Structure 1
Amino acid sequence: MTAVREPVRVQEVSTPEPGRHTRSARLRLGDRHPGLIPLLLAAPAGIGLLFFVVIPALLSLIASFFSVPLAGGPWSFVGFANFQRVLTDPAVLQALGNTVLYSALTIIPSLLIGLGLALLANRAGRARPFVRTALFLPMTANLVAMAVVFRWMFAAQGGFANELLGFFGIGAVNWLGNPHTSLLTVALVGVWRTASLTMMIFFAGLATIPVSIEEATRSEGIRGIVKLTRITLPIIKPTVVFATVIAILTSVQVFDTINVMTQGGPLGSSETVLTMVWKLGFSYYDLGAASALSLLLLIVLIGVGILQRRTLAGGER
């Protein structure tokens, strides 16, 4: 009688999933050093910020007190001579005046148009997402490309603006070549751009108004300009201050549109601070004066930020 052999049982060996050990190692690393992974993720952006923002800013700060030879050689300390030359240069003073005038031509219209568009988008009902997206499109467009388009629109010959004036029997205007109209023309482009940004800021502020207040004003019959000035604007005061500061910063730092459309001309009539910084540094090769002027602009921008902070703090109290 032969014995029956039992079948040999083969023990199954489970194979680890691909990447399992890697994920486990990461988890163990995260458990041991919880602050290491965020630092590693932020390292590429931090390195780029260091080499392309922090170090150039420090070099510019130092160069504003030195005479920098472009051909090489040691820097020579000149103290505040660069600032003195900048503040007494007629071309720089004209650029400062143009920047103030450009800001005056763009800030208030941008705020008013942005607020009006935000109120319009807020009342659009079901079409609100479409209207909001359409009104925000100018901010998504490439500014250099749009400056080329606007340069064609305001061209002296064959431009859309002059063709439109000719349709009504009005003579052509040299929009960009006339010292009396060049700054106003680029300011119109600035309003078109900044109004879209302020619109989104105001729209976000209007969304914070409680529904109960809207219902109460509707039941009391409060509408129009009275509702806007007595209820809406006081509630969204921080939003108004923030939009104003953003409009100021955008206007003071205008560069792309002017550099493409007029290059600061004619006769410096559309020159601004940043275009003058560019010319001092890369056209006249006066890096010390360019650094001094950029430092003065930075001080002004810091002052605007401090003013915004104090205004908001005063409103909270």
Structure 2
Amino acid sequence: MHDEKLVIAVRLPAQPLRRSRTNLVPALFLLPAGIGIGTFVIVPAVLSLAASFFSVPLTGGAWTWVGLANYEHVLTDAAVLQAIGNTIVYSVITIVPSLGIGLCLALLANSVVRGRAFVRTALFLPMTANLVAMAVVFRWLFAFQGGFINQVLGFAGFGAVNWLGDTSTSLLTLAMVGVWRSASFSMMIFFAGLATVPGTIHEATRAEGIRGWTKLTRITLPIMKPTVVFATVVAVLGSIQVFDTVNVMTQGGPQGASETILTMTWKLGFGYFDLGAASALSFLLLVVLVGIGLIQRRVLAGGHK
């Protein structure tokens, strides 16, 4: 009896050490990601915030304190305000269609019986494509001279349209490309959300004769509320941060008609060499994105309650 107590007394101190080793393993796995996030996200964000209050010479040298002058500049500059307005219009044009098309494609992929794997793969392919490469392809498709779209219009008896070179059509053309891209990602999110609907729900609605639009709006979408909110937030964030397609297809032209917040930020910093104003604009964009994330969290928390 005394020997057993002695063995227990000897082994007990080893348990905290074993627990500490167990807790250390996840930290070691997270360490590379933490270093990457700290180096390429947190540190640049802090430097950008600091630079927004200074005049930063691109060639080096001391930073000059200017206070809120950079924020005043970006909030009163006509070109920046035009870029903000274009971003809002672009978002309005792309978000709702991409969500609607994505939901329809998810329902289609979920309902297909034969060739389901092929249909799912085909619908998801736009999301896997390199966006810069696809922007080059779309620039050729919408080219004024020799573009495929204008050639089709010519065969149909219509005149050529300067899709990317006209102030009235450039942003709309970019929005169509944005819908093509975003709808694929929305489809993937909705398709995953449809898998969370219990099979008993489908059986009950089938027994009650509830189908089609009524089932979708009264039963399926309410159950998928977290998925719908997440897909909406992702679509909003993607539309606000559009850069690649604009930079490749129009570079913000003509006359700033397709300029967005990120392309204007890039021009301020590396085109006009005004790093302070670029930092101020990027920090304002960061505040908006964080605000959208907080709204999403609050909506999801309310739905959970």
- Fold match (TM-score > 0.5): yes
**Per-residue deviation, 1:126:** 4.0
Matched, 1:46 2:53: no
Structure ID, larger Rg: 1
Q: Give the secondary structure class of the aligned counterpart of 1:270.
A: coil
Partners of 2:20 and 2:223 in 1: CA distance: 47
Corresponding residue pairs, total: 289
In structure 2, the residue matched to 1:23 is none
Normalising by structure 2, we get a TM-score of 0.91
Partners of 1:52 and 1:213 in 2: CA distance: 45
- Confirm or deny: 8 A CA contact 1:107 1:247 kept in the other structure: yes
Structure 2 counterpart of 1:57, one-letter code: A
Matched, 1:152 2:140: yes
Q: Give the secondary structure class of the aligned counterpart of 2:115.
A: helix
In structure 2, relative to structure 1, the CA distance for the partners of 1:61 and 1:129 (3 Å cut) is same
For residue 212 of structure 2, the aligned residue among 191, 211, 224 is 224
For residue 239 of structure 1, the aligned residue among 196, 206, 227 is 227
Structure 2 counterpart of 1:44, one-letter code: P
Partners of 2:219 and 2:36 in 1: CA distance: 45
Unaligned runs of 5+ in 2: 1-16
Partners of 2:250 and 2:283 in 1: CA distance: 25
- Confirm or deny: 8 A CA contact 1:82 1:288 kept in the other structure: yes
Q: Give the secondary structure class of the aligned counterpart of 1:33.
A: helix
**Per-residue deviation, 1:30:** 8.5
Partners of 2:23 and 2:302 in 1: CA distance: 37
Partners of 1:134 and 1:30 in 2: CA distance: 49
Q: Residue deviations 1:218-242, cap 9 Å, x none?
A: 1222111111111111111111111
* Structure that is richer in helix per residue: 2
Matched, 1:283 2:278: no
Identity percentage of aligned residues: 71
In structure 2, the residue matched to 1:105 is 93
Matched, 1:61 2:40: no
Report the RMSD for the aligned CA atoms in angstroms: 1.5
Partners of 2:299 and 2:21 in 1: CA distance: 41
Map 1:106-121; keep pairs closer than 5 Å.
106-121=94-109
In structure 2, the residue matched to 1:11 is none
Q: Residue deviations 1:154-210, cap 9 Å, x none?
A: 000111110111111011000000000000001000000000000010011111111
Unaligned runs of 5+ in 1: 1-28
**4+ residue runs over 4 A deviation:** 29-32
- Confirm or deny: 8 A CA contact 1:107 1:244 kept in the other structure: yes
